[in-house]
């Protein structure tokens, strides 16, 4: 059983069933028809690149379970939101992941603090990386999808300006590695927060982003950030207590986040795989 731990102001995902929608292989179809878009998100894979990471020996099997679920669900889009390997920026582990990805499901890869954007670009290419800056938007029809790049542990000013100038036409969902909120006062918030999380959150509030999907904290949370909803997605590698001030691992099972975006708004839940 997966053990969830979160502060009082955190709400876990409801168990509501996802709306059943068309699941075509091209998410661009939905921008023409106005149908809902189905997205799966996985994050913080930390795929080991060699025998020296014995404690990460379970990770490839967990990632395969996640990708098998994605193949069965056939979403319009898969988003992998950073921290792909251990050790950091490990090219063989990136190449292993690239070989496992469902070929017919469009996939976005964005960098976390343990990734090299240059390596991701070389391995996954422009279709999955968007551009070499790793920040951009795409149209989903009634919503835009925005990707930001926080691999330096902060959100650069130019990306906050991008939110103000480019994310203005319609509501948007945002994918970034780091949460733009401390979430709790636990280990990750104390040791590895987004350095300018307050400024980042303010920039998001001043844009048309309604929902932020992130990882990095290796746990689950749903936070009302007074202007946008923050959805924290767990890792298939290890889970970290949100409450303990020191690093404290928790029992877990790998999960995939399901997101449905349509005329009704944004709905999301986690599926244990």
Provide the binding-site residues for Fe ion, judged by CB under 5 A: 83, 112-113, 216
Residue with Cβ nearer Fe ion (14 or 152): 152
Least distance in angstroms from the C-beta of 184 to Fe ion: 16
**Contact 25/38 with Cβ under 8 angstroms?**
no
Distances (CA, A) of 190 to 32, 100, 229: 45, 35, 22
Least distance in angstroms from the C-beta of 194 to Fe ion: 10
Least distance in angstroms from the C-beta of 177 to Fe ion: 6
**Pick from 255, 272, 273, 235: which is nearest to 56 by CA?**
235
Least distance in angstroms from the C-beta of 14 to Fe ion: 26
**Contact 235/43 with Cβ under 8 angstroms?**
yes
Tell me the residue number closest to Fe ion, measured at CB.
Answer: 216
Residue with Cβ nearer Fe ion (23 or 113): 113
Q: At what angle do helices 197-205 and 157-166 cross, to 10 degrees?
A: 10
Least distance in angstroms from the C-beta of 233 to Fe ion: 12
Q: Where are the alpha helices (DSSP H) in 134-265?
A: 157-166, 187-191, 197-205
Residue with Cβ nearer Fe ion (128 or 216): 216
**Whole-angstrom Cα distance, residue 35 to residue 29?**
8
Q: Which two tokens stand for residue 164?
A: 């103000």
Residue with Cβ nearer Fe ion (137 or 178): 178
Least distance in angstroms from the C-beta of 78 to Fe ion: 19
**Whole-angstrom Cα distance, residue 127 to residue 134?**
12
Residue with Cβ nearer Fe ion (192 or 202): 192
Residue with Cβ nearer Fe ion (216 or 257): 216
């Amino acid at each position: 059983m997966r053990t969830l731990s979160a502060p009082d102001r955190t709400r876990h995902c409801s168990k509501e069933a996802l709306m059943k929608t068309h699941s075509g292989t091209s998410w661009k179809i939905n921008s023409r028809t106005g149908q809902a878009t189905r997205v799966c998100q996985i994050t913080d894979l930390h795929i080991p690149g060699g025998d020296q990471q014995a404690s990460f020996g379970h990770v490839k099997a967990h990632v395969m379970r996640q990708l098998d679920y994605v193949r069965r669900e056939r979403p319009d889009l898969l988003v992998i939101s950073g921290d792909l390997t251990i050790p950091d920026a490990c090219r063989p582990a990136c190449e292993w992941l690239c070989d496992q990805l469902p070929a017919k499901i469009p996939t976005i890869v964005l960098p976390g603090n343990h990734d090299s954007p240059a390596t991701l670009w070389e391995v996954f290419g422009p279709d999955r990386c968007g551009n070499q800056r790793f920040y951009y938007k795409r149209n989903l029809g009634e919503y835009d999808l925005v990707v930001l790049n926080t691999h330096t542990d902060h959100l650069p000013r130019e990306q906050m300006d991008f939110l103000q100038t480019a994310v203005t036409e319609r509501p948007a969902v945002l994918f970034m590695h780091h949460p733009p909120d401390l979430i709790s006062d636990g280990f990750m918030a104390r040791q590895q927060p987004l350095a300018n999380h307050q400024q980042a959150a303010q920039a998001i509030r001043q844009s048309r982003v309604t929902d932020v999907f992130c990882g990095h904290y290796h746990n689950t949370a749903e936070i009302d950030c007074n202007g946008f909803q923050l959805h924290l997605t767990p890792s298939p590698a290890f889970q970290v207590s949100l409450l303990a001030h020191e690093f404290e691992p928790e029992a877990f099972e790998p999960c995939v986040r399901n997101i449905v975006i349509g005329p009704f708004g944004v709905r999301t839940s986690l599926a244990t795989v």
